[in-house]
């Protein structure tokens, strides 16, 4: 059964890519053959991947044994290439160039639910119960509730900056639901849904965006949406693009070497724009060579700020790059929560079983502006955005499925919206009233051990300025009143 049987996904970054209910996670351009021909029909998810041969760790039997970092010499073969860069490559008299993982076709997109929440023929819905499914939907709904309030707050001057996840709720929350609570997550800046799934309190979310004294992430020293929580195994977000990708490769390698963490994986989220950075290639190369359980989850939402995917790459998306690094890869409908859940669940199993990375490309659409600093209608039509909200809405898709199972009703929908709005506003109003951290906090946690001379000099300079102008100059006095202790810890 071909993906064409279910229509076209119309995902912006892969417009001609047919959706399929059968997922194929590929690792090689030509498994088991000399050419570049790939399976035209993807196998079912549970047997899409065959495990790598078990890694054999043997202790050298004598001093003459090869070093653990070098493999024994293999004599050249008449049938296969003898150069070390591709020792299993078959020799062929045919000159053939290729530019696609699947010869003449695009990589299929795995799907479980259609845009109306119906299970597509042949698809396998996750074996989860009513409560789990309801929790997934409620968390997906909470995310835009938070986003709407905080986006509006920035527009009214209450906070300095914000980034929403509108349109990508299924990609973020659906993937989070498939992980273990102790898996290490390295996010970009649209992964608030991962924290919400892990029961991160709304009070801490609000404290972070307000940079107040209760900000447990960074004590008020990071810009909004740069969350972090060691308790929730969520590494603090940083602004530079793609830096988390090689870091995730290192985290996975550390997990591989730690016997106490053998059941955990490193999960790295990023967008297709970050995949254009050099760190993407460095990170994937490092992860594939060093090994370690990792999932690289690409949210391909069609735009890198204002740059459309068509100007980001000429090949078949991000998934096509995985096999080049020897990485198991799958493309999934990122607006289908069940498809994302299934794909990440399987990706996690593979990563642990083989101690190797897996690449997941989730095809979605960024309904919101890039950030509060962006007006996306300057580079895309407003009608296009409205069409995506209406035609392929991830929230609507999952809600219709729940209703078809008798697990949700219109009355429950209204009650949820009202309750979540109140919960978000209560947390917002409390955080808005809290003062900033003590002024001296900005000079702490930068250096370990004894405070260096340059920090001491800066502290003395600030003390002098506050002592001279703090009482006499009204703007200084008003600003100091916003901090706990009124700046007296420095003065």
pLDDT in tens, 102-139: 777 889 999 999 999 999 999 999 999 999 999 999 99
Of 418, 433, 448, which one is at a domain's C-terminal end? 433
Same domain for 405 and 367, yes or no, is yes
Same domain for 354 and 463, yes or no, is no
pLDDT band at 44 (very low <50, low <70, confident <90, very high): very low
Same domain for 392 and 455, yes or no, is no
The mean pLDDT value for 460-480 works out to 81
Same domain for 375 and 245, yes or no, is yes
Considering only 185-199, 250-264, 476-490, which range has the smallest mean pLDDT? 476-490
Task: Judge contact between 205 and 145, C-beta under 8 A.
Answer: no
pLDDT of 64 > 60? The answer is no
> Containing domain of residue 454, as a range?
439-482
Locate 22 and state its tokens.
Answer: 């059968």
The mean pLDDT value for 322-327 works out to 94
Q: What is the pLDDT of residue 478?
A: 83
- In the chain, count H helices and then E strands: 12, 10
| Helix/strand/coil percentages in the chain, nearest 5 | 40, 10, 50
Of 433, 453, 469, which one is at a domain's C-terminal end? 433
pLDDT of 464 > 70? The answer is yes
Same domain for 426 and 448, yes or no, is no
Same domain for 415 and 477, yes or no, is no
Could you tell me if residue 68 is inside a domain? no
pLDDT of 141 > 60? The answer is yes
Considering only 22-26, 269-273, 279-283, 395-399, which range has the smallest mean pLDDT? 22-26
pLDDT of 20 > 60? The answer is no
Helix ranges (H only) for 126-239 are: 130-155, 169-177, 192-197, 202-210
Q: Which helix (H) or strand (E) holds 341?
A: helix 337-354
Could you tell me if residue 236 is inside a domain? yes
Task: Judge contact between 286 and 249, C-beta under 8 A.
Answer: yes
pLDDT of 319 > 80? The answer is yes
Task: Judge contact between 227 and 162, C-beta under 8 A.
Answer: no
Give the span between the Cα atoms of 416 and 414, in whole angstroms: 5
pLDDT of 322 > 50? The answer is yes
Could you tell me if residue 262 is inside a domain? yes
Mean predicted lDDT score pLDDT of the chain: 86
> How many domains does the chain fold into?
2
Could you tell me if residue 180 is inside a domain? yes
Angle, in degrees to the nearest 10, between helices 394-404 and 169-177: 60
pLDDT of 5 > 60? The answer is no
Same domain for 314 and 193, yes or no, is yes
Q: What is the pLDDT of residue 70?
A: 53
Locate 50 and state its tokens.
Answer: 């065959």
Same domain for 286 and 395, yes or no, is yes
Same domain for 388 and 464, yes or no, is no
Could you tell me if residue 268 is inside a domain? yes
pLDDT of 370 > 50? The answer is yes
């Amino acid at each position: 059964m071909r993906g064409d049987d279910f229509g076209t996904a119309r995902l912006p970054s892969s417009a001609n890519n047919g959706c399929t209910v059968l997922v194929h996670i590929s690792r090689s351009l030509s498994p088991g053959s000399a050419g570049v021909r790939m399976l035209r029909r993807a196998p079912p998810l549970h047997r899409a991947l065959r495990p790598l041969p078990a890694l054999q760790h043997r202790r050298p039997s004598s001093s003459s044994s090869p070093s653990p970092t070098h493999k024994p010499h293999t004599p050249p073969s008449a049938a296969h290439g003898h150069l070390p860069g591709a020792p299993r490559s078959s020799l062929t008299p045919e000159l053939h160039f290729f530019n696609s993982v699947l010869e003449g076709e695009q990589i299929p997109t795995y799907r479980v639910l259609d845009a109306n929440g119906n299970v597509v023929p042949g698809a396998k819905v996750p074996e989860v119960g009513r409560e789990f499914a309801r929790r997934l939907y409620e968390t997906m709904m909470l995310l835009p509730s938070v986003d709407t309030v905080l986006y509006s707050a920035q527009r009214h001057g209450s906070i300095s900056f914000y980034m929403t996840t509108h349109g990508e709720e299924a990609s973020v929350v659906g993937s989070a639901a498939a992980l273990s609570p102790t898996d290490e997550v390295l996010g970009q800046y649209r992964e608030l849904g991962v924290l919400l799934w892990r029961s991160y309190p709304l009070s801490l979310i609000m404290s972070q965006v307000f940079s107040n004294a209760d900000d447990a992430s960074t004590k008020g020293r990071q810009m909004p949406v740069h969350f972090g929580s060691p308790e929730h195994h969520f590494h603090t977000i940083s602004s530079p693009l793609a830096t988390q990708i090689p870091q995730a490769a290192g985290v996975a390698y550390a997990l591989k070497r730690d016997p106490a963490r053998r059941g955990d994986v490193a999960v790295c989220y990023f967008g297709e724009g970050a995949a254009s950075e050099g760190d993407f290639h460095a990170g994937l190369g490092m992860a594939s060579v060093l090994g370690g359980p990792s999932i690289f989850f690409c949210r391909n939402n069609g735009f890198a700020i204002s740059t459309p995917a068509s100007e980001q790459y000429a090949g078949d998306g991000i998934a096509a790059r995985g096999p080049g690094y020897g990485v198991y890869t799958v493309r999934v409908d990122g607006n289908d929560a069940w498809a994302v859940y299934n794909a990440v669940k399987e990706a996690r199993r593979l990563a642990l079983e083989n101690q190797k990375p897996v690449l997941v490309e989730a095809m979605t659409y960024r309904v919101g502006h890039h950030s509060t600093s962006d007006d996306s209608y300057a580079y895309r039509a407003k009608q296009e955005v409205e069409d995506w909200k209406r035609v392929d809405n991830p929230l609507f898709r999952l809600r219709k499925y729940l209703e078809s199972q008798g697990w949700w009703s219109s009355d429950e929908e209204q009650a949820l919206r009202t309750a979540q709005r109140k919960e978000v506003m209560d947390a917002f109003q409390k955080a808005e009233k809290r003062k900033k951290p003590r002024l001296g906090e900005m000079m702490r946690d930068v250096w370990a051990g004894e405070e260096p001379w340059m920090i001491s000099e800066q502290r003395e300079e600030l003390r002098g300025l506050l002592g001279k102008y703090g009482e006499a100059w009204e703007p200084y006095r008003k600003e100091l009143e916003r901090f706990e202790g009124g700046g007296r810890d420095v003065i």
